[in-house]
Amino acid sequence: MRRKMPTIRSFSQAVRFLRVTRLLLWTIWVMYRERRRVLRAHEKGNYEVEPNIDVLIKVLVAFRQTIMDPRIWTREEAEIRYTEG
């Protein structure tokens, strides 16, 4: 017997898309900024400069927390997600 797939309301889907997209772009921007900062320092002969790991971790933690946030999922999606996983 086939399971009935939950219907996702357009508004909640749009909100979820915007939140995840914003965080993805922020993640990419921070990674690019740190890479550019290190490369510029290396060009100037300062080879002791390394990426700011704390900032990168902060971005990735925020991304993961948003993905795992149950408020962005509909009730049906959350039930499926937690019973299957």
Question: What are the DSSP calls for the chain, one per residue?
Answer: -PPPPPP--HHHHHHHHHHHHHHHHHHHHHHHHHHHHHHHHHHTT-TT----HHHHHHHHHHHHHHHH-GGGS-HHHHHHHHHH-
Assess if residue 25 is contained within a domain. Answer: no
67-80 confidence digits (pLDDT tens): 777 666 655 555 55
Q: What is the pLDDT confidence band of residue 63, given thresholds at 50, 70 and 90?
A: confident
Assess if residue 1 is contained within a domain. Answer: no
Domain that holds residue 58: 51-85
Number of domains in the chain: 1
Assess if residue 7 is contained within a domain. Answer: no
19-43 confidence digits (pLDDT tens): 888 888 999 999 999 999 999 999 9
Residue 22, both tokens: 């914003």
Assess if residue 45 is contained within a domain. Answer: no
Assess if residue 84 is contained within a domain. Answer: yes
Residue 23, both tokens: 């965080």
